[in-house]
Amino acid sequence: MSDDAVWTEELFRALTLHSVDIISLLDGQGRLLFNSPATVRINGFTPEELQHKDTFELIHPEDRAEVARVFAEVLGAPGTLRTVEYRYLTKDGRWLWMEAVASNQLDNPAVRGVVANSRDISERKRAEAERQKTELRLRELQKLESLGRMAGGVAHDFNNLLTVILGEASALRGEVSGARGLESIEAIEAAVGRASELTHRLLAYLGLGRTALADTDLHELVTGITPLLEGAAHGRAQLAFELASGVARVRCDPAQVREVLLSLVNNACEAIEGAGTVVVRLSQRSVDPATFMGPSVGVLAAGPAVVLEVADTGVGMTADVVARIYDPFFSTKQVGRGLGLAAVAGIVRSHGAGLGLTTAPGKGTTFSVCFPLTR
């Protein structure tokens, strides 16, 4: 080796010694002739461990074809730059996303190789993937928002039509004679009532239902419907109450909160197989959203809140069930019977409150309605 060649190699090593990126020299078959010390920091291999190794063996199988294609372009166009992204194996068995810029210097007597500059872009890839997920969630939310507005408009229009039908049926009462005619009118009125209830539930799910907000003492509200709750649980579960007195009043629609409580108690009773207990709790405490699981509903902010809970000792839920628990008409029973928890979630959202869930298979379920304190 001539003095010029030695000087050139020493200079090359000195220039690459403190490079943040990996600088490599490869032959025409992709074998590594040289790697800068940065390879130890990035992928764990020492330059000596990679000496004369086929770099394609360390590239992810799904990325090899693309890297081979770009490498062929590099070989076919000396002096030009080509860029490629790929996953590279680390010494501890992980895959890192790398970006390499390569130039064919095989005909350069001072180099005689393909020079590649490679950098770790794993963090950038993770950020891109997270951004794409965020954009996808945003698009889904926008679609749901649009569908919600359309469904809300349809529900309002449908309700107006039901009002007309009900009015016409009532007007016919004075003109119809005979038991058969009156039975038909009563059947029409009953069907209109059921359809109207469904539209009200749909609007509640969308958070568009009519609310009559008032400063409300939840202790009084719960004790006032205790007989109704006991009737709902009768024969299915033992009902217990743990109601703290002196909790702050909350801003809510009492009728809708009663509906929420009845629905949660009914669901809790259905989750119990054999003997079990359903507990209705009322407390004022600091809420930690991290203690809840599943999709968030409404505003679950950290801090003081009045919390109305329904807990059961039932079968609990799997992660798959939790992921779908607030979907309209979803049910773990053979046949879904209505909007159910979807309507509960809509009512909670319309109140600016939050709905939290804790559950585990075989360990029961607790739903927590968290009302922000009235200022």
For residues 176-197, one letter each, b for 16 or more C-beta atoms within 10 angstroms of the residue's C-beta and e for the rest, the string is eeeeeeeeebeebeeebeebbe
Alpha carbon distance 38, 45 (integer Å): 9
Q: Is the pTM of this model over 0.85?
A: no
- Please tell me whether residue 287 adopts helix, strand or coil conformation: strand
- At 281 the three-state DSSP class reads strand
Confidence (pLDDT) at 305: 92
CA distance linking residue 99 with residue 88, whole number of Å: 10
What three-state secondary structure class fits 162?
helix
Phi/psi of residue 332, each to 5°? -85, -5
Per-residue pLDDT of the chain (375 residues; tens, 9 = 90+): 445 544 456 666 677 777 889 999 999 999 999 999 999 999 999 999 999 999 999 999 999 999 999 999 999 999 889 999 999 999 999 999 999 999 999 988 878 899 999 999 999 999 998 898 888 877 876 776 666 667 767 777 777 788 888 888 887 877 777 777 788 888 888 888 777 777 776 666 666 666 678 889 999 999 999 988 988 888 788 999 999 988 999 988 888 899 899 989 988 998 888 888 999 999 999 988 888 887 778 788 888 999 999 999 988 888 888 888 887 666 766 444 445 787 788 888 888 899 999 998 988 999 999 998 855
| Contact between residue 350 and residue 208 where contact means Cβ atoms under 8 Å apart | yes
Residue 320 is predicted with a pLDDT of 85
CA–CA gap between residue 118 and residue 84 (Å, rounded): 10
